[in-house]
Amino acid sequence: MNAAEEQDAPAVAAGWREWVRRFAIASLAGLCAFAAVMLTSGREVVRGAVAEGPGVTLDEPLYVEIGVYLVRNLKAYGLGFLHPKTVREVWGAGAYYADHPPLGRWVLGLAHEWNADPAGPAIQDAAARPAAAVGFGLTVFLVAWYAARWFGISAGVIAGLALFFMPRQFGHAHLATLETLIALTYSWCVLWVADRWSSSFVITDSQKLPRKRVAVVGGLLWGIVLLTKIQAVFIAPAVGLWAIWRFGPKVLGRVALFGVVGFVVFFVGWPWLWLDPLNHLKEFFARTTERQTLYCFYWGERWADRDVPWHYPWVTFAVVVPLGLQLFGILGTVSRWRRSPVVTDQARGVGDARLQPVLLSILIPLVVFSIPGIRVYDGERLFGVVFPLWAVIIGRGGGLMWRYASDRLPTPTGPAVVIAVLAAQVWGLISYHPCQLSYYSLAIGGLSGADRLGFERTYWAESLTDSFQRRIVEVVPKGSTIDVAPVLHPIYLSHVLEQSPILKSAEIQLAAYDDKQPGRSRYVLMFHRKADPWGSLLPPPEGTETLAQVKRGSVPLATLYRLPE
């Protein structure tokens, strides 16, 4: 070893120690998030669970069934799965519904086949739910890793915990849907591009440009996001605008390479597109605008999805994240840390080149869903991809507050203040479980305040929990028929019975509520989704008995009524 190497050795060793610390912290955060989801998912998902999970939701069967269909066909055909005749038989069949790209559904299908009970029904939503738990744990890992890499260990810890403590993200992680999986791939692509395109350069005509291989890898990641869900389209303008701003017009070749590689991955990875490329591409992208009208309840009014006010996504974004985390996020966005001894960029706030694509990837979805005529519904779900990226910025703000408190206040008082603020944010996970999709922050008085202001209470009927079902079979005679209101999809009721051994063992039958048909059942199960109300149940007729109810605070989410004779 020469003299230069001897001088560099301590720095290399210190760098490796720092890498190990960051990796250990991020891994611990991800594992804790995964374990928390699994342990609060009910015993039908994992043995030893300490809390019940959400009930059967509206969208899970639509996601899981196609995933299982693809995996079982792969098992049946083996390597012949990609034969042109097989591609047409599988991907062109009426059983295959191409409303979403296949990657997320493959993941759900694989999890289902790994976990499904052979003695159970053909499709078991609970068997696919661990896929979302794994996706959530990986997303927490990525958020903690990049925040620690960019802004220090304390920022990484706070970023990982911030995403973990967001009740709606934690709630989605219990469901066999695409929301958590698209959040994972979206965050992975944006954070990787922000990091590598800011650090791996080649000098061309005295100008820095990202290396071509970095653009290619970024494109590969974007292709993976495209194969997960349509929200991937927001990444392209974010990366393009940021790259041109940072590197100038000469970067357009790299941006084009990024886009071409991503689209090729998307096309190659979805055999349905091969059958009729132009028409199927048009059909897929048009489906997001040419679909059945859904309704949204906001500020006390029922809106068709095309007519929702422009400020809906901004207000929703503001009130579904715990208030303390939002304050850290604002600090992380606007603050400049002039005394930072770590990295010059850390002191720049939004001037940090790595934060710029992250912020753009948050702002662009919110802006798009503010455009008049763009369909918006179901709370934060359509722009749920922004929250993991926001957690990185929350981590930066929390890290700055940690350092400020440590410098200005005596130890351990300073750090204890930040820890106390962060720990207080976990209350939403506990108090709303397993109905975290109904969470609102203290900024509007929680769910009770949101209900008074005219916000939606629930949108996926996850309040049909096991404990609620057990109460139903206790108070309803065996073999009874229960009318359900509202019913938003024709397969929902049959799927609930198939997935609910508690109701099935009591021989309960479910039917869609209709107050215009005489002779209906006196028992009515009502989900309190304001966007699809039945006027005859708001309020229910005089003399109606409430037999069972799921509430959070003072707000009912699901109620079993017995109507008068």
Mean pLDDT of 499-527: 92
Cβ atoms of 464 and 56 within 8 Å: the answer is yes
pLDDT band of 344, cuts 50, 70, 90: very low
| The most confident of 25-34, 37-46, 245-254, 416-425, by mean pLDDT | 25-34
Segment 129-152 shows an average pLDDT of 97
- Quote the CA–CA distance of 151 and 343 in Å, as a whole number: 8
* CA atoms lying within 13 Å on the CB side of residue 186: 32
Contact 55, 45 (CB under 8 A): no
CA proximity to 32, closest of 165, 123, 180, 172: 165
Judge whether residue 342 has pLDDT over 60.
Answer: no
* Helix (H) and strand (E) counts in the chain: 24, 9
The residues, any chain, with a CB within 8 Å of residue 169's CB and separated by 6 or more, are 136, 163, 180, 183, 384, 387, 388
* C-beta separation of 561 from 534 below 8 A: no
Higher pLDDT, 461 or 363: 363
The pLDDT-based confidence of 289 (bands split at 50, 70, 90) is low
Where would I find the H helices in 92-152? 103-115, 125-128, 130-151
Residue 343 has pLDDT above 80, yes or no: no
pLDDT, averaged across the chain: 91
Mean pLDDT value of segment 385-397 = 97
DSSP code of 541? P
pLDDT band at 417 (very low <50, low <70, confident <90, very high): confident
Mean pLDDT on 242-265: 95
What's the confidence (pLDDT) of residue 53? 95
Dihedrals phi, psi of 221, to nearest 5 degrees: -65, -40
CA 89 – CA 520 distance, rounded (Å): 43
Predicted confidence (pLDDT) per residue in 437-453, tens digit:
999 999 999 999 999 99
Contact 168, 391 (CB under 8 A): no
pLDDT value of position 351: 67
Residue 17: band (very low, low, confident or very high) from pLDDT cuts 50, 70, 90: confident
Asked if residue 132 lies in contact with residue 384, where contact means CB atoms within 8 angstroms, the answer is no
At residue 145, what is the residue type?
A: W
Residue 442 CA, chain-centre distance (Å), reads: 21
Is residue 565 very low, low, confident or very high in pLDDT (cuts 50, 70, 90)? confident
- Its pTM stands at 0.94
Give me the mean pLDDT over the 298-320 stretch.
96
DSSP state of 42: -
pLDDT in tens, 480-501: 999 999 998 888 999 999 999 9
Share of the chain above pLDDT 70, in %: 94
pLDDT of residue 48: 78
Kindly report which listed range (40-54, 108-122, 470-484) carries the lowest average pLDDT score.
40-54
Domain boundaries, the chain: 466-562
Q: Please write the tens of the pLDDT for every residue from 146-197.
A: 999 999 999 999 999 999 999 999 999 999 999 999 999 999 999 999 999 9
pLDDT value, residue 341 = 43
Residue 274 has pLDDT above 90, yes or no: yes
Q: Is the pLDDT of residue 340 over 80?
A: no
Tell me what percent of the residues of the chain surpass a pLDDT of 90. 77
| Third-level CATH fold of 466-562 | D-Maltodextrin-Binding Protein; domain 2 (3.40.190)
CB-based contacts of 379: which residues, under 8 Å, 6+ apart? 168, 316, 320, 437, 456, 459
Examine the pLDDT at 75 and tell me if it is beyond 50: yes
pLDDT value at residue 488: 87
Residue recorded with tokens 């109300």: 533
As a whole number of angstroms, the distance between CA 327 and CA 53 comes to 30
- pLDDT exceeds 80 at position 224: yes
Going by C-alpha positions, the residue among 301, 349, 300, 281 that lies closest to residue 450 is 300
